[in-house]
Structure 1
């Protein structure tokens, strides 16, 4: 039987706070306008000062960078624009010395078309890697094998003149999909995972984890018949991708077997974890439940449910309740922002003036939910979405669908460290890879360090509150029904029951607690003025309350 200490170390990810770093936008140290691994090492103290448990690094592997590193040409090396393997090893040691775990991206549903695997696979129909990617003959009229679409626009198939076949790509044509029906592909991918485990990484974020397998029969997808609201969970409404019910191009049952192989590998190492990205429309929670069940697949997953524009009690109750009803023994990782969506301060705030208040309220809410949480670099500063000109765009997704969809560059602009320096201290180069908006420079780290009422200081205080109460790490969550349209729930563990009430509206409310419920002690909630409460709680607009029952 495991000791309590060993069990706690093994389950460090349960309730953890994970900070996502987008390396090319974090800190540049070699004056080329791009962030690098040495820059991450330099800024690790800032991350540690927030009180987070781990960092997640977006891809830094060798890549042509057609999709900013999500098109990998070597899974076991660092791209020169980011540094070297030695730089990575130094960063890993430095992170561990600060008590930070390190999670890295694994982009294994597809590779770059410049990966040696694909170069060999496309050379003939008889080479040793001929079946390592999803190849198919054309229809008699020369068109694609079926109606599958690419998320980045257009058909999900690209013609190759050498093989005289089509290959599948869920994203760019330069990102061909690996064929996970091949055991050799699975073995090769797991070998790359082992490479990083042996270097000492603590876990993996699995990009598009439900895209690994497609239907062996290559059946066409039926039309999307549900209400239009869930089509945009995986792609913007401007993209015809949402017009299909994606029954056959992803989320296949064979994926469960591979995830078991992956978990078995991780379990041969101590205290490692996985978090999967599940993009599956309205079925995301069911997929999350399947992928995190029984302790033999993924440790946790996140979906796109909280990455939309909804900032209402009804939406949060619906998402959390659906998770608790669908997921029997799995674990969720909640997030409001990441490198693929508009920053949540811009999504949730109605005016520029209320952005700081929204930023504080959002992290207070996120930190009190049951599950692990993921923060995206810059949200601790309350950064809004950057409004970029078309000529500044680098994201192929945004360039393809402009102007109806502006892409993902607006949330990927560089971190502002020092307000008075060029490019806000991100780089000394003449030009950074994306511009630093002047609004972001005004919210720089050095300015907020000196302000006790800043969003940055609020993040630190709020994450400290989360760590101070075991109930907030993995305690039970129960919603409280009130007559007011507020989000109210309790968190309970080891005899301590905490009540949280969030007024997400802009007008004051007076919340009468259910009969028999009394607040014994009002607890200070960082950033919010505590009010007296026994059987009634008074809240201003965009306000929060915490009390012990």
Structure 2
């Protein structure tokens, strides 16, 4: 074997650092059998779109067996595929096709809770003395019959639900049909780690860990203290949810989680080149937790918090604030940034609701995201500039939205089916007369087919900019150095090895100008922006950008 061949055969354990990960919500990506719901064969058929886009990996939201109370985030069998989505054989075919196209495959693991239909919970609730009686979080009522403490569910109300068989309460951070697993029990940890190995043996390249900071609870079940109103933040839960009224010291974020994450990482190390990204759901100390979970090279490779998924408007100051806060909290850690996902309002609507030129706004937001220090997640449809869909109450599927309607409309608006062909039935997503969520007309006009090949389209901008990113490893691996603020112009350098690139972004609908920093700079092309360089002055059109290499 030649040295070159040996190098090619050696997996890159660092592939995740700076990777662009494309998130697929399986219910809404592609329906292959005409039932109005996306499936694994549909994903496989559409993988060329992701490959041509230029992503490095896909992350597939849960497709495991589930009663679908929370659309797959309530798992009743961790080691099988729900028939709605296909079979294990279909998943194996998906893995094979993704790898043929050069795409890594990451899947969503939901380990903080299961469905109440999982055999583990059915056995656990059957008595106080069965072998799995301690696999979930059970507690006696207070003397007056009320729950054991004041913990709240993210989906509204108490985090405790009364079970008449055991005459005890069980804990649920989410729906009552999503009981929390008791990871203080070593047998539970072992079962979850064995499940992880199962999917690794099926060829997955990594995992996204749902609600990673919810795995452990306080054994003493101490009450959470009230949170000062000035510190309430609506990024973990909508503003109308009393969940925001507590400081969540005891129902999540527990120190015992660190040792379990080390055990989890050790399982990943049993296989070549596996990576994991953790979702840290906490608006109070999210980046601090990210720092804890990614430190030391023995836990998560990367995590993401909600700073860029929050409603707070994105401004030059906000971008710098988040990156500086991450650097302070996790100097040796690695972030994975996203502007949109399956749980939040699409960012083109969340931040650009009053922007006249939504396509220009989508292009500049993509470029800012793709030049941040860290890895990146792109949510399906983001590359089309899709806006948040307005779903009528009669069409709502999300229990979260139904609970808090109309002040909070839930997550269905970002979960509508992908649009492929504006001329086809259901925009090419399905041959069914009715899809699980309706497809907005305004989305159909932005279908892949309508944008493909149009250099001015949002889709072609994503493709072009991802190619530009690949040409310059500094974007994937380099450090970030912010320059002095200049009005609405975001300014920073990316540095890696001998290369230093300058990034300037006009985050406003008005033309702007800014000075080049000290040094000689060579303007770069190939990224899709036209900005004029006049001496030491850069003229940026509305929502424009400029890139240069230090000469």
TM bracket (short chain)? over 0.9
CA distance in 2, matches of 1:163, 1:366: 50
- Of 424, 428, 435, 1:425 maps to 428
Assess, with a 3 A threshold, how the Cα gap between structure 1 residues 238 and 211 changes in structure 2: closer, same or farther. Answer: same
Which position in structure 2 is the counterpart of 1:535?
536
Question: CA–CA distance in 2 between the matches of 1:13 and 1:518?
Answer: 33
Structure 1 position 299 matched with structure 2 position 285? no
Superposition TM-score, scaled by structure 2 size: 0.97
Moved more, 499-508 or 41-50: 499-508
Question: Is the aligned partner of 1:495 residue 2:501?
Answer: no
Residue equivalent to 1:244: 246
- Residue deviations 1:213-247 (CA, integer Å, cap 9, x gap): 0000000100112624x521210101000000000
Query: Secondary structure of the residue that 2:259 maps to in structure 1?
Result: helix
Counterpart for residue 3 of structure 2 = none
Q: Is the 8 A contact 1:483 1:512 kept in 2?
A: no
Structure 1 runs of 4+ off > 6 angstroms? 3-8
Question: 1:72-221 maps to which residues of 2 (within 5 A)?
Answer: 72-221=75-224
Deviation at 1:525, TM superposition (A): 5.5
Partner of 1:227: 230
Residues 4 and 499 (structure 1), Cα distance of their counterparts in 2 relative to 1, 3 Å cut: farther
Q: Does 1:369 align with 2:393?
A: no
Q: Counterparts of 1:191 and 1:421 in 2: how far apart (Å)?
A: 44
Partner Cα separation in structure 1 for residue 486 and residue 319 of structure 2: 17
Once the 2 structures are TM-superposed, how far is the Cα of residue 511 of structure 1 from its aligned partner?
1.1
Residue aligning to 1:523: 524
Helix, strand or coil: the match of 1:545?
strand
Displacement, 1:86? 0.2
1:416 aligns with 2:419: yes
Aligned-partner Cα distance in 2 for 1:267–1:6:
18
What is residue 466 of structure 2 aligned with on the other side?
463
Are the equivalent residues in 2 in contact too, given 1:63–1:112 (CA < 8 A)?
Answer: yes
Q: Deviations over 1:139-196 (max 9, x none)?
A: 0000000000000011000000000000000000000000000000000000110100
Q: Over aligned residues, Cα RMSD in angstroms? A: 1.4
- Alignment check: 8 A CA contact 2:316 2:485 kept: no
Q: CA deviation at 1:4?
A: 7.8
Report if aligned partners of 2:317, 2:485 keep a CA contact under 8 Å in 1.
no
Please state how far the C-alpha of 1:526 moved relative to its aligned partner: 2.2
In the alignment, which residue of structure 1 is the partner of 2:20?
Answer: 17
SS of alignment partner, residue 9 of structure 1 = coil
- Specify every segment of 5 or more residues in structure 1 that has no aligned partner in the other structure, as ranges: none
CA distance in 2: counterparts of 1:547 and 1:5, whole angstroms:
32
CA distance in 2, matches of 1:295, 1:134: 30
Secondary structure at 1:88's aligned position in 2? helix
